[in-house]
Every structure is written in structure tokens, then in C-alpha cells.
Amino acid sequence: MTGLPAGTVVLRPRPQLSLLLHRRSAVVAGVLVLLLLAVMAVAACVGQTVLTPGEVWRTIRSGSGQYDLVVNQLRVPRVVLGALVGGALGVAGALIQTVTRNPLASPDVIGVGHGAAAATVLALTAGAASSPAALPFVSVAGGLVAATIVYLLAWRRGMHANRFVLIGVGIGVALSAVVQLYLADSQLEAAEQLKLWLTGSLNGRGWEQAVPLAVVLVLCLPALIWAGRAVRPLGLDDDTAAGLGVRVQRNRLAVTVLGVVLAATATGAAGPIGFIALTAPQLARRVTRTPQLPLLGSALTGAVVLVAADLAARTVLPPVEIPVGALTALVGAPYLLWLLGRANERP
């Protein structure tokens, strides 16, 4: 049992199969799952009409009844969508931050969110995407294109993290200028709707957004399991990783693409919700106390944070619903500022 990293145990369910388990991460993951279920339950109960957990449970089980509309058609799909979007953003953030070795480089900072948003708005106004089923593809394409542009522009005799982030910010500004343009162009009613979408909101969204997102997440699962192993050496410096026999550049590219796809799909489902991808991995790492950003922990943290933020967004200022993206920006941006203030303090 020598040579194991501290705080880990080896599970041997069968002689051929062994799993390295970080004990604290496993406990944290379990606690986060319970926390997520609790937050989701509260979110299903609380709103303009406050229901008891019993009433909610009965309505879900019977699929009908007095509260069918509120519970089965509004709150449950919305809560599930929130958990999926938050989870996807959390994982995407962890992947991209690991690859760039920069806690500032979240998908929304490097232009993915804006790219997905711009593509979606263009498709909506051009009438090209009349069915909601097509929108996830549009936003994934937009996010990938934006990230590619940022990557190419930032590449100059190697990749420098700060250059990457700054150019991402710039491209984000240009893309949001395009979006603003369509916003100012459209009628007031359409502008309000677009504006809502652009700040990121779960309002009025449900299964038609949640199902495609869930499909994408399931399809990405094998890749995520692979990434969970692949990102570990990427946290080391390039030479060490290459010395261990890792194909650094190829793995880095694959992990980045995976992160962008996840972030862009989430954006397509709920609009660009900022700062979840940035904060969730860092929060998760502080709780698990691992040197690496934990993928599962990041996903669960993202889900908990987004469901809780959405709950706050629709209950803080009744009857007004704040777009949840505005709320996450209000809470997340100070965190980014704090992170900047501490930059370079750690080795």
C-alpha cells in the first residue's frame, strides 16, 4: 500500500479491476448529491404558490391533479433543466480551466457563451431554426466557431494563457455587439424576449430544452470518463506529461473540444448564464481539497449553484423574475475580482 497519494484508497471489487478512490472526494460527492436533491425539492415546492413536499410528490406520482400545471409542467422541468445546465457548465469549466491551467479561463470568458448566443440569435432572427430541436446544434456550432477563432488568434509561437483570455474577452465583446445590434433592431416585445434569453434564464423553459441537453450529456459520458483520466497529467507541465508518455497536444485539444461542446449546449438550452463555469470548479476543488479540479464535484457544484440561483431569481423580488444569468453575474463577478486580487499569490 505504499506509493499511494494521501487520502486515497484502492477499491478491488474484482481481482482484475482496481479503482483509485480519493476518500474525501467520494464523501464530498455523496454530500453534494444529497444537497442537490434537497435544493431541487425546495425549488419544486416554493414559488408563487407554496406547496408541501407531500403535495408535490403526489402530483409527480399521479401525473395529474390540482397542481399538475405548476408542478409537472412548470417547476419540475425547470428544476431538472437547471440541474443539467449547471452540471454541464461546471464540468465544462473544470475541463477548460485544467487545459489552460488558468482559473480565469472559463468557457464564458473565452467567447464560447457569446458565440453560442450570437449564433442562436442570428438563427432565430433569420428564421433559419424554426424548431427548438435545431437550436442546440446551432449554439454548439456557434460556440465551437468562436472558440476556434479565439484559439487561432491567441496562438503565436505557443499559447499564452493571458493572451488567450484577453483575446477571448475581445471576441466576446465583438460577438455581443452583433447580438446588441439585433436587439436594438427588433420590436420592443421581441427585444424583451431576446434580452431575457441573452441574460440567461430558465423561465418558460422545460422538457423541450432539457431533453436535447440530456441526450448530449449522455452521449458525452464516455468522453467524460476518458477525460477524467486524461486531464490528470495535463495539470503537470508539458515536458513532464510528455515524459510520462502522454500525447499532450492531442489530449489537450480533445478535452477543450469536449468542454466547448458541453458549455455551448448548455448555453443553447438556457442562454449564456455567466460565472457558473468559472466558479463551480474552484468551489469544488476547495471543498474536496484535491490538487486537481474534480470533474464530478464540479458538475454537482454547478448544478447545486444554478438550481439555488434560479430559486432565488424567481422568489427574491416577487412578482418580478430576475433572469438567473444576471444573478449569477452579480454574485460571480465579485468572486472573479477576488480571484484576480489573489492572483500570483499561490505558486
Partner 1 sequence: MRSRAWLVAALALVAAVAVLSLAVGTRAVPLPAVIDALFHGGDTRDALVVRTLRLPRTEVGLTAGAALGLAGAVLQAVTRNPLADPGILGLSQGAAAGVVFAIAFGLASGFSGYVWFAFAGAVVAACLVYAISLRGRGGASPVKLALAGTALSAMAAGATTVVLTSSSATLDQFRFWQVGSLSGRDTGTVVRMLPFLVVGAVLVLVCAPGLDALELGDDTARALGHRVQLVRGCAALGATLLTAAAVAAAGPIAFVGLAVPHLARRLVPSGHRRVLPLSALLGAALLPVADVAGRVVRAPAEVPAGVMTALVGVPVLVFLVRRKVAGA
- Note the residues at the interface with partner 1 (CB under 8 A): 104, 109, 153-154, 156, 160, 162-163, 165-167, 169-171, 173-174, 177-178, 180-181, 183-185, 188, 191-192, 195-196, 199, 274-275, 317, 320-323, 325-330, 332-334, 336-337, 340-345
**For partner 1, the closer CB: 41 or 169:** 169
Tell me the CB-side half-sphere exposure of residue 246, using CA atoms within 13 A: 21
**For partner 1, the closer CB: 71 or 89:** 89
319: phi then psi, degrees, rounded to nearest 5: -90, 5
Q: How far is the CB of 145 from partner 1 (least distance, A)?
A: 15
User: CB neighbours (10 Å) of residue 143?
Assistant: 34
Give 160-174 as a DSSP string: -HHHHHHHHHHHHHH
What gap in Å lies between CA 92 and CA 274, rounded to an integer? 12
Write down the residue that cell numbers 464523501 correspond to.
Answer: 27
E strand or H helix at 295, and its extent?
A: helix 295-315
Q: Which cell numbers in the block locate residue 257?
A: 473540444
Q: How far is the CB of 100 from partner 1 (least distance, A)?
A: 14
SS3 for 8? strand
273: phi then psi, degrees, rounded to nearest 5: -95, 110
Q: How far is the CB of 340 from partner 1 (least distance, A)?
A: 5
Q: How far is the CB of 330 from partner 1 (least distance, A)?
A: 4
**For partner 1, the closer CB: 259 or 332:** 332
**For partner 1, the closer CB: 8 or 186:** 186
**For partner 1, the closer CB: 59 or 279:** 279
Contact 297, 24 (CB under 8 A): no
Contact 103, 282 (CB under 8 A): yes
What gap in Å lies between CA 74 and CA 107, rounded to an integer? 29
**For partner 1, the closer CB: 189 or 239:** 189
Q: How far is the CB of 174 from partner 1 (least distance, A)?
A: 4
Q: How far is the CB of 310 from partner 1 (least distance, A)?
A: 14
Q: How far is the CB of 342 from partner 1 (least distance, A)?
A: 6
**For partner 1, the closer CB: 201 or 251:** 201
